[in-house]
Amino acid sequence: MSNEIIIDDSNFETEVLKSDKPVLVDFWAAWCAPCRMLGPIVEDVANEYSGKVKIGKCNVDDNQETASKYGIMSIPTILIFKDGKVVNQSIGVISKENVINLFRKYIESV
């Protein structure tokens, strides 16, 4: 079972901006082959770091308002939020280690 949450235009503020934990949001689309490659990596990280960082997926086709607000022009894009602000980002497929490195310094103990 995955520990990822579905992020959409209606819950973005509550789940991401008001979160008391760092949040990784994976912006993706079903038709995007690189997104399908990154998806299982993000899912592994979500399971491994459950309780330390919140991990969500936001489908850009279904949630254009949020994608536009954060300037998502290429996918997959990962944004790291801490205290309601973007503190790190990555565009394209990256390794599991690099995904973890995006948020490592924002969690208390890894």
Token pair in block for residue 14: 């509550």
> Is 32 part of the annotated catalytic residue set?
yes
Cβ partners under 8 Å of residue 109, min gap 6: none
The domain over range 5-106 is classified in CATH as 3.20.20.70: no
Q: Residue 110: what pLDDT?
A: 42
Q: Are strands 54-59 and 5-6 parallel, antiparallel or unpaired?
A: parallel
Domain layout of the chain by residue ranges: 5-106
Catalytic residue among 7, 24, 25, 32: 32
Q: What is the pLDDT along the chain (110 residues), one digit of tens a residue?
A: 468 999 999 999 999 999 999 999 999 999 999 999 999 999 999 999 999 999 999 999 999 999 999 999 999 999 999 999 999 999 999 999 999 999 999 986 54
Q: Residue 3: what pLDDT?
A: 84
For residue 94, the Cα-to-chain-centroid distance in whole angstroms is 13
Q: Residue 2: what pLDDT?
A: 67
> Is 58 part of the annotated catalytic residue set?
no
Token pair in block for residue 17: 């901006």
Catalytic residue among 7, 16, 35, 42: 35
Q: Are 42 and 3 in contact (CB under 8 A)?
A: no
